[in-house]
Chains A and B, each alone.
Chain A
Amino acid sequence: MIPSQAFTIAGRVIRQLVRDRRTMALIVIVPLVVMTLIGLSFPESNVLDYIAPALLATLALFFSFLLTGISFLRERSQGTMERLMASPLSRLDIVLGYLFGFFIFALTQSLIILLFTIYALGVNYFGDLWQIFVFQIVIITGAVTLGIFISTFARNEFQMVQFIPLIIIPQIFLCGVIWPVEQMPDYLQWLSVVLPLTYAVDGLREIMLAGKNLLDVGFELAVLVGFVVLTSILAALTLRRGASG
Chain B
Amino acid sequence: MQNHIMSKSKLDSIAVEVKEVSFSYNNLRVIDRLSLRVPKGISFGLLGPNGAGKTTLIRLAVGLLKPKSGNIRILGEPPSRKTAHLIGYMPQLHSLYAELSVRQNVDFFARIYRLTNKPERSERVEEVIKLVDLWQRRNDAVLKLSSGMRQRVSMACAIVHKPPLLFLDEPTVGLDPELRVTFWEYFNNLTKQGNTLIISSHTMDDAAHCDRLAFMRDGRVIAQGAPNELKQATGQPEASLEDAFLYFLHSEEKKRDS
Q: Is there an interface contact between B85 and A88, defined as CB atoms closer than 8 Å?
A: yes
Segment at the interface with B among A8-16, A29-37, A127-135: A8-16
Beta-carbon contact of B109 and A83 below 8 Å: yes
Say yes or no: B93 contacts A79, CB within 8 Å: yes
Is A82's beta carbon under 8 Å from chain B? yes
B98 on interface, CB distance cutoff 8 Å:
yes
Query: In the complex where A82-B64, A86-B84, A88-B85 touch, is A12 in contact with B95 (Cβ < 8 A)?
Result: no
Q: How distant is the Cα of A207 from the Cα of B97 in the complex, in angstroms? A: 42
Contacts of B104 in A (CB 8 A): 12, 15
Provide the B60-75 mask, 1 if CB < 8 A to any CB of A, else 0: 0011100000000000
Mask of B106-119 contacts with A, CB within 8 angstroms, 1/0? 00110111100000
Which residues of chain A are near B141, meaning CB under 8 Å?
19
Residues of B within 8 A of A245 (CB): 25
Interface residues on A, range: 20 to 34
Interface residues as binary, B67-103 with A (CB distance below 8 Å gives 1, 0 otherwise): 0000000000000010011010101111111111000
Pick from B89, B93, B95, B112: contact of A8, CB below 8 A.
B112
A88-B96 in contact given A8-B111, A15-B104, A83-B91 (Cβ < 8 Å): no
- Which residues of B are found within 8 Å of A241, using beta-carbon distances? 64
Residues from chain B with a CB closer than 8 A to the CB of A87 are: 84, 109, 112-113
0 or 1 for each of B139-173: is its CB under 8 Å from A? (1 = yes)? 00100000000000000010000000000000000
Question: Closest residue of chain B to A81, judged by CB?
Answer: B95
CA distance A16 to B99 in the complex (A): 6
Q: Is A121 an interface residue (CB 8 A)?
A: no
B contact residues around A82 at 8 Å (CB): 64, 91, 93, 95
Question: Which residues of A sit under 8 angstroms from B92, Cβ to Cβ?
Answer: 79
A16 neighbours in B (Cβ, 8 Å): 97, 99-100
Q: How far is the CB of A156 from chain B (nearest CB, A)?
A: 15
For B95, list chain A residues within 8 Å (CB): 78-80, 82-83
Chain A 50-73: CB-based contact to B (< 8 A → 1; otherwise 0)? 000000000000000000000000
Does A182 make an interface contact (CB < 8 A)? no
Point out the residues of chain B lying under 8 angstroms from A80, CB to CB.
95-97
What's the tally of chain B residues with a CB closer than 8 Å to chain A? 28
| Contact for B112 among A17, A78, A89, CB less than 8 A | A89
Contact yes or no, B100 A88, CB < 8 A: no
| Residues B100 and A86 in contact, CB atoms below 8 Å apart | no
Contact across chains for B98 and A78 when beta carbons are under 8 A apart: yes
Cβ–Cβ contact B89 & A83, under 8 A: yes
Nearest-Cβ distance from residue A21 to partner chain B, whole angstroms: 10
A82 to B109, CA, bound (A): 13
Q: Are A84 and B112 interface neighbours, CB within 8 A? A: yes
Q: State whether B112 touches A5 (Cβ < 8 A).
A: yes
Question: Across the interface, do A19 and B112 meet the contact criterion of CB distance under 8 Å?
Answer: no
Q: Are A12 and B62 in contact (CB under 8 A)?
A: no
Is A44 at the interface (CB under 8 A from chain B)?
A: no
On chain B, the residues within 8 Å of A90 by CB distance are 81
- Give the contacts of B43-64 with A (CB-CB under 8 A): 62-64
Give B86's nearest chain A residue, CB to CB.
A88
Per-position 1/0 for A214-242, Cβ under 8 A of B: 00000000000000000000000000010
What 0/1 pattern do residues 148 to 181 of A give for CB contact below 8 A with B?
0000000000000000000000000000000000
Q: A107 in the interface, Cβ–Cβ < 8 Å?
A: no
Q: Contacts of B111 on A, CB cut-off 8 Å? A: 5, 8
The 6 closest A-B pairs by CB, nearest first: A79-B93, A79-B95, A88-B84, A19-B99, A86-B62, A86-B89
Given A5-B112, A78-B95, A88-B112, 11 more pairs with CB closer than 8 A: A12-B100, A16-B97, A80-B96, A82-B91, A83-B95, A83-B109, A83-B157, A86-B63, A88-B85, A88-B114, A89-B112
**Can you show 7 pairs from A to B with CB atoms below 8 A apart?**
A8-B112, A12-B97, A79-B95, A86-B63, A86-B89, A87-B112, A88-B85
Residues of chain A touching chain B, judged by Cβ–Cβ distance below 8 Å, are 5, 8-9, 12, 15-17, 19-20, 78-80, 82-90, 241, 245
